[in-house]
């Protein structure tokens, strides 16, 4: 299973706090946020990671080089913005296998990857999403699933004040589902929300989650006790 981290975003909402770094390199307790994600993946025996980079990519490459904590790193460098879908598709060209585990580089979701993969193998969806329950969906938007875990609807952020599931930013799928998509597209809007017959499922996890995309949560994560995450 190949692993891709999307680490190429501009981090517009975080610019007032971290203005000279790509968002995944924002310092958290004196370490780049991306280091925590790589350490997390290492726990599950993941030793090869593709970093999809763009904005200030030289900062990422200079810091990590081709290896971190015995994890071998490859870089898919976007010379111009490709959108989340285009960035993923471009990164899959560096994969060795067929199945891709994809993580957002500006959020941390402490799911059990072994459980996630086992569900994927058992039920064989075209795309599997990790879901997180939130008391207020207004910031993220909602994801509705049926009793079997099939995703039946996505709800726009800002419209829902009640609780429900959000997209936790971790995906599993076969890279070939991207073959018909253009060089630049949105993975969320043009694929997940318009699956065109693909089987898209969600698996909820009651695990720690945070998105460092806004200053409020970026400050909050500075006090996290990483050894006590569940």
Q: Provide the residue ranges of all domains of the chain, joining segments of one domain with +.
A: 2-224
pLDDT tens column, 195-214: 989 999 999 999 999 988 88
pLDDT tens column, 92-126: 999 999 999 999 999 999 999 999 999 999 999 99
pLDDT exceeds 60 at position 39: yes
Token digits for 125? 């969806």
Total-model pTM: 0.94
**In sequence order, which residues have a C-beta less than 8 Å from that of residue 75 and are 6 or more positions away?**
50, 51, 53, 57, 60, 61
Of 19-23, 54-58, 87-91, 183-187, which range is least confident?
19-23
What CATH number matches the domain at 2-224, 3.40.50.300, 3.90.550.10, 3.40.309.10, 3.30.379.10? 3.90.550.10
pLDDT exceeds 80 at position 59: yes
Mean pLDDT of 81-87: 94
Mean pLDDT of 17-40: 89
pLDDT exceeds 80 at position 135: yes
Q: How high is the pLDDT of residue 15? A: 66
Mean pLDDT of 16-26: 81
d(CA 41, CA 3): 9
């Amino acid at each position: 299973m190949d692993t891709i981290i999307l680490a190429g975003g501009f981090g517009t909402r975080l610019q007032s706090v971290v203005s000279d770094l790509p968002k995944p390199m924002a310092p958290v307790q004196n370490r780049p946020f991306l280091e925590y994600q790589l350490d997390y993946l290492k726990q599950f025996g993941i030793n090869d990671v593709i970093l999809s980079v763009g904005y200030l990519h030289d900062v990422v490459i200079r810091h990590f080089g081709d290896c971190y904590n015995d994890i071998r790193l490859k870089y898919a460098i976007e010379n111009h913005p490709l959108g989340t879908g285009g960035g993923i598709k471009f990164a899959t060209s560096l994969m060795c296998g067929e199945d891709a585990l994809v993580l957002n580089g500006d959020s941390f979701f402490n799911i059990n990857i072994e459980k996630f993969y086992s569900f994927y193998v058992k039920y064989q969806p075209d795309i599997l999403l990790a879901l997180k329950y939130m008391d207020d969906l207004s910031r993220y938007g909602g994801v509705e699933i049926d009793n079997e875990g099939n995703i039946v609807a996505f709800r726009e952020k800002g419209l829902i004040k009640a609780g429900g599931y959000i997209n936790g930013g971790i995906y599993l799928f076969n890279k070939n589902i991207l073959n018909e998509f253009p060089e630049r597209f949105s993975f969320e809007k043009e694929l997940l929300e318009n699956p065109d017959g693909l089987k898209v499922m969600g698996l909820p996890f009651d695990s720690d989650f945070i998105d460092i995309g806004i200053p409020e949560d970026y400050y909050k994560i500075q006090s996290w006790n990483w050894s006590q995450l569940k």
